[in-house]
Amino acid sequence: MAAQSQAAPEMETKEGLLWEMVQAAGSDHDWLEGRGPWSILMGYIDDATGITLGRFYDYKGTRPAMDSLRRYMERYGLPQSIYLDRHKT
């Protein structure tokens, strides 16, 4: 009797983990190096792939955070989890 071959278990690839966890942060900085006002960069990075999305805002707060999250989800869909730093955002 011939031995039956069993299929190998599927391995997860980085692409398969896309949008599982996204890190979000807001950073106030002189991004324009004195050629304009200080601004806030609201940024998102996919933990598995390193794909990023960022947008500049006039201030750090709930509205910029929610607007940037909405824009992120419109482009990439809803991530399984979002990691936020311990700061105001």
51-75, pLDDT tens digit by residue? 899 999 999 888 999 999 999 999 9
Confidence label for 15 from pLDDT (cuts 50, 70 and 90): low
Amino acid letter, 43? G
Token pair, residue 15, equals: 């692409």
* Entry pTM: 0.70
> Is the model more confident about 36 or about 9?
36
Phi, psi for 42 (deg, rounded to 5): -95, 120
DSSP code of residue 16: G
Q: Measure the CA angle with vertex 16, ends 4 and 8; round to 5°.
A: 10
Token pair, residue 68, equals: 């940037």
The rounded distance, in Å, linking the Cα atoms of 70 and 55 is: 12
Domain architecture of the chain: domains with CATH: 19-84 (3.30.420.10)
61 CB contacts (<8 Å, ≥6 apart)?
Answer: 88
The pLDDT score that the predictor gives to residue 10 is 39
